Amino acid sequence: LAFVCDDTLEAGTLAAAVGEDNKYLVEDLTISGPLNGADLDFIRQMAGRDFSWEPTAGVLTRLDISNATLVYQGTYSQTGIRQPIESDYYAYNEWTLSSSEPIKMAARQDALPELVFTKTNLEEVILPTSITKIYSSFSECYSLKGTIVIPEGVTTIGDYAFESTGIEHVVLPSTLTESTKANPGANESAICAHAFDNCWALKSIEFPASVHKICDATFQNCVSLTELTIPATLRTI
């Protein structure tokens, strides 16, 4: 079953638009318009996992959110990935003391939350053109395969971004940007540590000129990698 949500969708209404009857039947989902934390929670369940890391009956394998925008709001369940703080390395959470559900993991406005699709059934994802960073949203998304196109405008591919996925090819944007810090922290390089670690099917990759460093374990256990094209601007491996 394929399902399309157009740009009339309001943030937080994906569950109502798809409906409980279709929740675990949709294999191909296309979404335009705003998505918040509650919507991402629902998509994760459609893709075979809840935020307690328990399997669901979801069969979603293809997700096209290229025309979606991310809205900083929307409550996940209290069993969300981690709780709170804005600076947390793994997740972006917020206290809302006036709410009956005080723990809230919200969609960033510039990126998908960390680990949001970890261990789901997704095989193909078309990323939002509105994002500027990619964190560990697809780490251990074992079923993810084929080609991942990173949209132009993305400046950072974070730590463990696609670690332990079955992707074969990656198209990198020219907009990747190195940190100006002497010792960049987590998620601060153009392509960060372990970004493609254990991508067993990855065959080739070509870096744009804006990448000046290959970080720790970027291609660790990439047993199928046969071609790596690096620019003359590369300074550090």
Q: Which of 51, 56, 11, 54 is nearest to 31 (CA)?
A: 11
What is the pLDDT, as a whole number, of residue 106? Answer: 59
Residues in the chain, how many?
A: 237
Strands (E), the chain: 2-5, 28-35, 62-70, 93-95, 103-105, 124-126, 133-134, 145-149, 156-157, 166-171, 204-206, 227-229
Say how far apart CA 8 and CA 93 lie, in whole Å.
27
Three-state secondary structure along 198-236?
CCCCCCEEECCCCCCECCCCCCCCCCCCCEEECCCCCCE
Tokens in use for 91? 């997740």
What is the pLDDT, as a whole number, of residue 187? Answer: 87
Q: pLDDT truncated to tens, each residue of the chain (237 aa)?
A: 899 988 788 888 999 999 999 999 999 999 999 988 888 889 999 999 987 778 999 999 999 999 999 887 665 544 444 433 444 433 444 443 344 443 345 567 788 888 889 999 999 999 999 999 998 899 999 999 999 999 999 999 999 999 999 999 999 999 999 999 888 888 899 999 999 999 999 999 999 999 999 999 999 999 999 999 999 999 999
Q: Which of 60, 62, 68 is nearest to 22 (CA)?
A: 60
Say how far apart CA 103 and CA 83 lie, in whole Å.
7
What is the pLDDT, as a whole number, of residue 86? Answer: 44
Q: Which of 176, 181, 236, 184 is nearest to 206 (CA)?
A: 176
What is the pLDDT, as a whole number, of residue 206? Answer: 94
What is the pLDDT, as a whole number, of residue 97? Answer: 36
Say how far apart CA 229 and CA 237 lie, in whole Å.
13
DSSP 8: T
Q: Map residue 237 onto helix, strand or coil.
A: coil
